[in-house]
Structure 1
Amino acid sequence: MPPTSIKSRFGSRIRSLRDDRGFSQEELAERAGLHRNYVGGVERGERNIALENIVKLAKALSIPTRDLFTDFP
């Protein structure tokens, strides 16, 4: 089985944190100032997300940016 891509692992981490907070994709996107479809693409590992958007998501999830890169599944 091929290794999981970093984009997929990051997307899974975002989804897990979003689910833990009870946010819908739409709510997370609104809090982060991003489009709902973009957040969905990130969670599915389809987007090569920009650093600015990583910071926006961390703020929307109320966590330090570095915590988005820990506990990858």
Structure 2
Amino acid sequence: MSAEDVHNRISVLRAERGVSRKDLAAALGVHYQTIGYLERGQYSPSLFLALRIAEYFEVPVEIVFSLRPFPRLGSEVR
């Protein structure tokens, strides 16, 4: 993990809402491959893009992005 890693839940949010990468990309005005790069952690979004993604999913930005890995679904917080 590098000092600039940004973790995200974009793929989880897309799956929950039945949104394809292409549909999300079109709504945000980016190339669909950008969504894949974001989901795989190969690209960190600009602040503007991060806020637009959170706005698209109607959640706070910290629900989508984190500097620490998100806990696995179903794991308990201790």
Structures share fold, TM-score greater than 0.5: yes
Q: Does 1:26 align with 2:5?
A: no
Residues 69, 44 of structure 1: CA spacing in aligned structure 2 closer, same or farther, 3 A cutoff?
Answer: closer
Task: Structure 2: state its 5+ residue gaps.
Answer: 72-78
Q: Shift of residue 50 of structure 1?
A: 1.1
CA RMSD of aligned residues (A): 2.2
Higher strand proportion (structure 1 or 2):
2
Number of matched residues? 67
Based on CA coordinates, which of the two structures has the bigger radius of gyration? 2
Provide the rounded CA distance (Å) in 2 between the counterparts of 1:33 and 1:59: 14
User: 4+ runs of 1 displaced by more than 3 Å?
Assistant: none
Gaps of 5+ in 1: none
SS across alignment from 1:48 = coil
Identity of aligned residues (%): 31
